[in-house]
Structure 1
């Protein structure tokens, strides 16, 4: 019984004496804790009075949202048998300050059998029935539309991340140029632009019924070499009338002596073309 009482008393206040220095420290700590407890409600009330209303912080500092919407995105689509990484040096031609917030993407096409190459499997966005490509060559409409869905998914991701659609540019060479044209025409919103290099119209006029009024506001830049013997100049030359009938504006540039390739002159022209449209888009946003 005494042992139990001693055990209880051991941890009680009577364990310290009035002359023990620890007792002064304990009393001080108790007093400090009591003072903090008393002041806590007043401090909380003061903080509540100073806190801004919900959502006001975002309204007072729109910079992050503005920065996101002023970013730009360039999607580059390669030609038949090529790859995305092999085209990445193209971005070195775009050194102007307007491109400091630009995100680039160089995806690679899936490996598929290609009819014009006797069924050989290679990177291809859709099937090609014959080469050289002429204005009357047969087209793989269903394959093109399937590839368009994948391109639209890439665009939608950037829009969801805050990039304004009018700061998004789709560019492509040869088969990638044909896919660029199809993707821009069938995207439901106005984009910054579509740039076609040595490409062609990859589907029939019936597809124009699926084009939205907003898509018709997207400008098109078309560049083609007069000496192209893979996608004949006549295939490229058929593009502007097709686009005009569909309600688009198209800037067509012919390059004498240029074969089936991209020249530095074409890339510098593309840089200026995108820069001008980025400025217009950002001015409208501001």
Structure 2
């Protein structure tokens, strides 16, 4: 029997190095200020605690498999792949973009906040044709002292070189952190493009209905 179709969007949020999924659950309310994600369901997996680890292919692929397993379960439960989004900050952004590029289906979108590419250009041969159709939003601060703005530029250049739709938004005074106002201003056109929902109904400070899910399984850590 085919599973019943789930109508609302599903978002996987991947946290920064040293953080936890549970500590990031408040972000669901911040994202709900955009109409496209006002009623989204969220998953906040936690990566194993590690002060630092190696940015190598084995680490990346192991972490990607964990993210893919979450996405697979959600799609098997009835969610349309185009309603699945992967968002991440810093290390989480790196894992998010790697997960999207290696996924065999086109997803709703990927948002990278102060992230980086966790692989070199030779990784391009692994990117699936369907993955190249997933739109990407990359937000980076010029004042980011941990992940330099050049990492963001290189990442978006790589994605565009694959023929992907990738918006790159730069904020002069933004450091290595999450900013609700920047998300709202940067994402309006992108979320409309991804979801067909016009961003006009909600504003900063409004509260949508968000469902947060703390995932018991862990996602392997990759370094920044």
- Shared fold (TM-score greater than 0.5)? yes
Contact 2:36 2:191 in 1 (8 A): no
2:23 is equivalent to residue 106 of structure 1: no
Cα 1:269/1:168, change in 2 over 3 Å: farther
Structure 1 199/213 Cα, relative in aligned 2: closer, same or farther at 3 Å? same
SS in 2 for 1:169: strand
TM-score after normalising by structure 1: 0.63
Who is 1:267 aligned against? Answer: 183
Once the two structures are superposed, the pairs formed by residues 213-252 of structure 1 within 5 Å of their partners are: 213-252=129-168
**Structure 1 residue 187: deviation in Å?**
0.5
Q: Quote how far apart the aligned CAs of 1:143 are.
A: 0.2
Q: How many residues align?
A: 195
Q: Residue in 1 aligned with 2:204?
A: none
* Greater helix proportion: 1
Max Rg structure = 1
Secondary structure of the corresponding residue to residue 262 of structure 1? coil
SS at match of 1:70: coil
List aligned pairs for 1:153-172, cutoff 5 A: 153-172=69-88
Offset at 1:275?
A: 5.0
For the residue of structure 2 that corresponds to 1:257, the secondary structure is coil
The answer on whether the counterparts of 1:80 and 1:175 sit within 8 Å (CA) in structure 2 is yes
Distance 1:156 1:270, change over 3 A: farther
Q: What secondary structure does 2:13 align onto?
A: strand
Task: State the superposition RMSD in angstroms.
Answer: 2.1
Whole-angstrom distance in 1 between the partners of 2:171 and 2:101: 24
When normalised by structure 2's length, the TM-score is 0.80
Q: Which structure 2 residues correspond to residues 178-257 of structure 1 after superposition, within 5 A?
A: 178-257=94-173
CA distance in 1, matches of 2:28, 2:187: 10
- Matched residues in 2 for 1:261 and 1:97: separation? 23
Unpaired segments ≥5 residues, structure 2: 198-224
- Report the equivalent of 1:16: none
Shift, 1:97, TM fit = 5.4
User: Is 1:168–1:193's contact at 8 Å kept on the other side of the alignment?
Assistant: yes
1:214-272 CA-partner distances (Å, limit 9, x unpaired): 11100010000001000111111111111122221210000011111111223324663
Q: Is the 8 A contact 1:71 1:164 kept in 2?
A: no
Q: Which has the higher contact order (CA 8 A, sep 6+)?
A: 2
Q: State how far apart, in whole Å, the 2-side matches of 1:275 and 1:103 are.
A: 18
1:36 matched residue in structure 2: none
Structure 1 distance, partners of 2:60, 2:182, is 25
